[in-house]
């Protein structure tokens, strides 16, 4: 984890919603999100984020253990990791697989290409998470894993590990199955640690705090204006 930057999606409580938006935009499944969740008013702190998210250097058994604490099972974990079908990662998130010793599970040509992108273990370049279709939300991420071309240890070990290998293979073979399980796991994730009572607020727009929502503010102002006209 040390020195690894998570993308902005991972740093906020709106993470789930950003994922939903981006996956539909790039060809993924469309699904209804249960509404009415109370969300926090502040970003998660860096410490809270790091305490709740496994690092990309973690192996599958560590990730399964860490996410089991959130009632996510092996199928959920493999399906959610499929979020890496789009987007990019920085060298610092995976160079420990290249230097000083090359991870033997990594396909050789893929490793050589990554060394070209990250010539040293302090390179700051980026590369795509899914080499087959980096901008399309599809099941090719799992095909990458079967071909030992997963970028992070946390990705590739899902195929090396006995308990998750079969799930990876089934998603690589059946995109509809992946989409179905992804939706189930995303809905589960969107219902984790929901605030209750007077804590937080139900957002009018799931990725914006109500106080930052200019549409909402102008509607309230308009209402007040109408009221004063009536007086
Ligand atoms: C299994 C646990 C996970 C780990 C260890 C993990 C780790 C990471 C890391 C290290 C990066 C790249 C950071 C960088 O080097 O810039 C990343 C990027 C990304 N992750 Fe995850 N992630 C996990 C789960 C998820 C989930 C559940 C989703 C969505 C459903 C997701 C979606 C993404 C996306 C879209 C990016 C690319 C962001 C960009 O292009 O800027 N990840 N993840």
Q: Please give the CATH topology (third level) of the domain spanning 14-200.
A: Peroxidase; domain 2 (1.10.420)
CA of 6 to the centre of ligand 1 (A): 7
Which residue out of 7, 130, 179 has the highest number of ligand 1 atoms within 8 Å of its CB and is therefore the one to mutate?
7
Written as six digits, the tokens of 56 are 């990309």
Q: Is the CB of 80 under 6 A from ligand 1?
A: yes
**Predicted local distance difference test score (pLDDT) of residue 227:** 54
The better pLDDT of the pair 207, 56 is held by 56
Tens digits of residue pLDDT in 10-67: 433 334 444 455 566 688 899 888 888 898 999 889 998 888 889 999 999 999 999 9
Quote the pTM value: 0.85
Mean pLDDT of 146-174: 98
**Predicted local distance difference test score (pLDDT) of residue 20:** 52
Q: Is the CB of 168 under 6 A from ligand 1?
A: no
Residue owning the nearest CA to atom 6 of ligand 1? 56
- Concatenated DSSP letters of the chain: -TTPPPPHHHHSTTHHHHHHHHHHHTT----PPPP--EE-SSPPPHHHHHHHS--TT--HHHHHHHHHTTT--HHHHHHHHGGGGS-EEEGGGTGGGTSSS--TTS-HHHHHHHHHH-SSTT---EEES-SS-TTS-SSHHHHHHHTT--SSHHHHHHHHSHHHHHHHHHHHH-HHHHHHHHHHHHHHHHTTT-B-TTSSEE-SBTTB-GGG-HHHHHHHHHHHHHHHHH-
Q: What is the 3-state secondary structure (H, E, C) of 153-187?
A: HHHHHHHHCHHHHHHHHHHHHCHHHHHHHHHHHHH
CA of 63 to the centre of ligand 1 (A): 13
> What is the percentage of the chain residues whose pLDDT exceeds 90?
68
pLDDT, averaged across the chain: 87
Residue owning the nearest CA to atom 31 of ligand 1? 83
Q: Is the CB of 46 under 6 A from ligand 1?
A: no
């Amino acid at each position: 984890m040390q020195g690894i930057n998570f993308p902005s999606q991972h740093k906020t409580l709106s993470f789930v919603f950003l994922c939903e938006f981006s996956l539909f935009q790039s060809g993924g499944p469309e699904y209804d999100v249960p509404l009415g969740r109370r969300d926090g008013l502040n970003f998660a702190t860096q410490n809270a984020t790091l305490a709740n998210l496994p690092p990309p250097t973690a192996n599958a058994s560590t990730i399964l253990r860490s996410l089991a604490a959130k009632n996510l099972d092996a199928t959920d974990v493999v399906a959610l990791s499929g979020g890496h079908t789009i987007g990019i990662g920085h060298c610092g998130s995976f160079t420990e697989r290249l230097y000083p010793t090359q991870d033997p599970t990594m396909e050789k040509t893929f490793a050589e290409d990554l060394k070209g992108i990250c010539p040293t273990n302090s390179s700051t370049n980026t590369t795509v998470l899914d080499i087959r279709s980096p901008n399309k939300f599809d099941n090719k991420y799992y095909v990458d894993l079967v071909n030992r071309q997963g970028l992070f240890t946390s990705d590739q070990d899902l195929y090396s590990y006995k308990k998750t290998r079969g799930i990876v293979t089934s998603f690589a073979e059946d995109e509809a199955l992946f989409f179905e399980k992804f939706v189930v796991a995303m809905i589960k994730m969107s219902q984790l640690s929901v605030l209750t009572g007077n804590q937080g607020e139900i957002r009018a727009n799931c990725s914006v705090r109500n106080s930052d929502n200019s549409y909402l503010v102008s509607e309230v102002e308009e209402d007040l204006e109408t009221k004063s006209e009536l007086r």
